[in-house]
Amino acid sequence: MAYFDAASAAPLHPVARQALLASLDEGWADPARLYREGRRARLLLDAAREAAAECVGCRADELVFTPSGTRAVHSGVAGALAGRRRVGRHLIVSAVEHSSVLHAAEAHEADGGSLTQVGVDRTGAVDPAAYSAALREDTALACLQSANHEVGTEQPVTEVAEACRAAGVPLLVDAAQSLGWGRVEGDWSLLTGSAHKWGGPSGVGLLAVRKGVRFAPQGPGDERESGRAPGFENLPAIVAAAASLRAVRAEAAAEAARLRELTELIRARVPALVPDVEVVGDPARRLPGVVTFSCLYVDGETLLHELDRAGFSVSSGSSCTSSTLTPSHVLRAMGVLSEGNVRVSLPPGTVAEDVERFLEVLPGTVAAVREKLGAPAATETVRAAGPDLVVDALGRRCPIPVIELAKVIGDVPVGGTVRVLSDDEAARLDIPAWCEMRGQEYVGEEPAEKGTAYLVRRVS
pTM (2 d.p.): 0.89
4, 208 contact by CB (below 8 A): no
- Say if residue 183's pLDDT is above 90: yes
3-state secondary structure of 192: strand
Rounded mean pLDDT of 98-103? 96
Lowest mean pLDDT among 69-83, 164-178, 294-308, 372-386: 372-386
**What integer pLDDT is reported at residue 387 of this predicted model?**
66
Residues carrying an active site annotation? 320
Q: Which helix (H) or strand (E) holds 291?
A: strand 290-295
**pLDDT tens figures, 412-453:** 999 999 999 999 888 998 999 999 988 999 999 999 888 999
Rounded mean pLDDT of 241-269? 97
Q: Could you give the percent of the chain with pLDDT greater than 70? A: 95
Average pLDDT, the chain: 92
Q: 414-428 burial, b if ≥16 CB within 10 A, otherwise e?
A: eebbbbbbbebbbbb
User: Whole-angstrom Cα distance, residue 378 to residue 277?
Assistant: 24
Strand ranges (E), 327-398: 341-345, 381-383, 388-392
- Say if residue 318's pLDDT is above 70: no
Q: CA angle, corner 2, sides to 269 and 338, nearest 5? A: 55
155, 177 contact by CB (below 8 A): no
**What integer pLDDT is reported at residue 456 of this predicted model?**
95
**pLDDT tens figures, 115-156:** 999 999 999 999 999 999 999 999 999 999 999 999 999 999
Neighbours of 451 (CB within 10 A): 18
